[in-house]
Structure 1
């Protein structure tokens, strides 16, 4: 049986970008429907950093208090060596002159916060779970979206004025729009990630980034305000280890592969932090996830006509700059803005891409540059110096948005429109 439903905008993917898009469109008076393949949205994953630019957008959506109740505001990025010695520390958030903090938070809790807000503001029917997107067809005045109900096997069609692919790094919609693109590009680095509750985190509200002369990296930061209020701390940790030659990667890669601590420990045998027992930190995590560090080359265009992409579906990048979630949130807000101020949907999506494609391409390339600098210094048998790190971080901040630029930028919240 085929059933047909309608909305102004259909969004494929109920992750951070897709849910923020739904909230932003609703705030602008535009009806949104989110299709999520998972049968249930649960608080999965590990930590994420939201840069001040994203926190501003959540603030303008009225969600800052909820975010603050979940996460921890970071005051600095501290770059260290494998002995835990700080090489260079750079303030961030309000400590760096932004009007908004950088928040470190559990990705799953952030997603559930956004989902709750969507249910409250748009209604329970605004997110359809267990619906697998399969294809689309543009019509004279809209888009027909084809999907399958995973529980029943029934085919479903949806009609909309626009179709947005926010379905992540393995985006089905991106594959339909760019069928000849080829596989993901692997950096040669394998990442292991986990979350561990501990008595304390000596660096406090700093994000610690450490690397040794083999280009083995470690990142750690606090992610839970609730844990701090209990006198504990919840630490998100990331291990980044060169394990192969960079190159193309198959499409069967999973981002939920269980990791093994015995695969991690040999790479950190020579590390000696005086403020953290790394083997204990890794071993006490309830779950370890393993996945490759990948990205894609920037596209010359994201979509066509009434169809476009958002977030990782549009511009997947290395996590070197902690910017993936941030850029998805900004995408969502810019998308809603253009759809609100431009009645012609095709022109609105073209303007959205013009605003965001070049900016996000710069972030993807800047993430590669951060990785390249570290890899080159390792090839020379030394870790990056404080001066090296300062240069690359200053360049990165200019690429992704300095405090004055963000603080003086006009709001992306448009006047409400009446599409009835």
Structure 2
């Protein structure tokens, strides 16, 4: 079976690896850019995604490339502790959680795909397709028996079936992302979130001496460049909004000011779809379910899609039945997750604390009792598929 994957990002490359591991040999990946380069900043790979990459044989490469996350800790805007929980192996998972540079992960996957002999054709911008052939802007064509649209939040494949969607909807918040050479904080492998439900600062190490950070706040007016992660802005645009955020354990203005490059991104997602698959064409990753970057789930869910698609294709002798099973497996959970992220997911604890104690607190139990915090965290893990009790016992996606 000839499988054409449109999009050479994390989801598309993970799909190529998964399909190859499942026994498919006629796989081609196309990418619109002329050269795939390690762009972006840091992301987190949650244990359910690390499990899938481990089963593809990438555990050692992840260990060398990323940083194992030890804990996730929430603070209010004054730097007071709301909630802290272990992550990865320390939380009882059979697999770690990794903080990793998005571009370095993409290049790791690219090397593995090429090492397995799967062609990755760059400079191929998809313009149209029918039930058996795809055409690109350079005039070239490729035949296929299955086309997988893994071409991101501005997917050409998705737009073919949903031409009236328009730009991704924006929620009024803007993210600024950067990396800064700085000393470690807290445990040295901590991921922290501090904020009040509108303004937020996230930071975690992605390698020794390098801290990845995200600053977030509402912006009045219209957002430009929706879906573009690479628009650069100067630190002076951001610093006034976080200049008072100096905590005993972290100097937020110092991290912002010390970044070599800062990228601005409006917080956008896509409305959940009623259907991903049309004939022998299906969607995967952000093309299927772009969601707010809440709960560290975007890349992880794309990797789960990739493994599920390969699993169902390998298990079924009928492609149409396999695609139906894939969509039944993945569309409902990712729809629920997208909607939960619009309600702030597990990060709702910062908003609740600010609403109940806007001037700060001395006893978090009087503001947000531990049982309520635990319930919020556990509920989101179950929804996203990475509660340790569920993940450790779930059957493998290896056919």
Is the TM value for this pair above 0.5?
yes
SS at 1:184 equivalent: coil
More displaced 10-residue stretch of structure 1: 383-392 or 169-178: 383-392
- Paired residue secondary structure (1:359): helix
Residue aligned with 2:397, SS? coil
Q: Which residue of 2 aligns with 1:320?
A: 294
In 1, the alpha carbon distance for the partners of 2:344 and 2:310 equals 31
The residue matched to 1:53 in structure 2 has which SS? Answer: helix
Give how far 1:148 is off: 2.3
In structure 2, what is the equivalent of residue 3 of structure 1? none
**Matches of 2:262 and 2:199 in 1, distance apart?**
18
Structure 2 CA distance for aligned equivalents of residues 363 and 191 of structure 1: 20
SS in 2 for 1:122: coil
Task: Give the Cα–Cα distance (whole angstroms) in 2 for the partners of residues 173 and 355 of structure 1.
Answer: 21
Q: Deviations over 1:256-290 (max 9, x none)?
A: 11022112111112222112222221122111000
Judged with a 3 Å threshold, the aligned counterparts in structure 2 of structure 1 residues 64 and 52 are, in CA distance, closer, same or farther, namely same
2:394 to 397, 401, 409: 409
Preserved contact between residue 184 and residue 250 of structure 1 (Cα < 8 Å):
no
1:280 maps to what in 2? 254
Runs of at least 5 residues in structure 1 that lack an aligned partner in the other structure? 1-6, 150-154, 228-232, 415-420
Aligned pairs for 1:254-273 (under 5 A) are 254-273=228-247
Report the counterpart of residue 4 of structure 1 in structure 2.
none
Decide whether the 8 Å contact of 2:154 with 2:227 is kept in 1: no
CA distance in 1 between partners of 2:85 and 2:191 (Å): 10
Q: Structure 2 unaligned runs (5+)?
A: none
| TM-score, normalised by the number of residues in structure 2 | 0.92
* 1:302 shift after superposition: 1.1
Q: 2:120 aligns with which of 127, 139, 164?
A: 127
Answer whether contact 1:220 1:238 (CA < 8 A) is retained: yes
Q: Which residue of 2 aligns with 1:220?
A: 203
Q: Is the 8 A contact 2:382 2:390 kept in 1?
A: no
1:306 and 2:289 aligned: no
Deviation at 1:178, TM superposition (A): 1.1
- Cα separation, partners in 2 of 1:320 and 1:252, compared to 1, 3 Å: closer
Q: Distance in 2 between matches of 1:338 and 1:279?
A: 48
Q: Which residue of 2 aligns with 1:230?
A: none
Aligned position for 1:241: 217
Tell me, yes or no, if the aligned pair for 2:245 and 2:253 is still in contact at 8 Å: no
Q: 1:51-200 residue pairs with structure 2 within 5 A?
A: 51-123=46-118, 126-138=119-131, 143-149=132-138, 155-200=139-184
Could you report, residue by residue, the CA deviation over 1:93-147 in whole angstroms, capped at 9, with x for unpaired residues?
1111110111110000000000000111125xx1001110111101xxxx21111
1:33 aligned partner: 28
Equivalent residues of 2:228, 2:265 under 8 A apart: yes
Q: Are 1:357 and 2:331 matched, yes or no?
A: yes
Per-residue Cα deviation, 1:206-264 (whole angstroms, up to 9, x for no partner): 2101103x72100000112xx3xxxxx2110000111137xx96776522110221121
CA deviation after TM superposition for structure 1 residue 346, in Å:
1.8
Q: Match of 1:413, SS?
A: coil
Contact 1:144–1:160 (CA under 8 A) maintained in structure 2: yes
* Distance (Å, rounded) in 2 between the aligned partners of 1:22 and 1:253: 24
| Aligned partner of residue 294 in structure 2, secondary structure | helix
**Superposition deviation, residue 391 in structure 1:** 3.6
Aligned length: 387
Query: Which region of structure 1 is more displaced relative to structure 2, 25-34 or 276-285?
Result: 276-285
SS at match of 1:340: helix
Cα distance change, pair 146–381 in 1 and its aligned pair in 2 (3 A) = farther
Instruction: Give the 3-state SS of the residue equivalent to 1:266 in structure 2.
Output: helix
Contact 1:49 1:105 (C-alpha < 8 Å) held by counterparts: yes
Tell me, what secondary structure is at the counterpart of 2:185?
coil
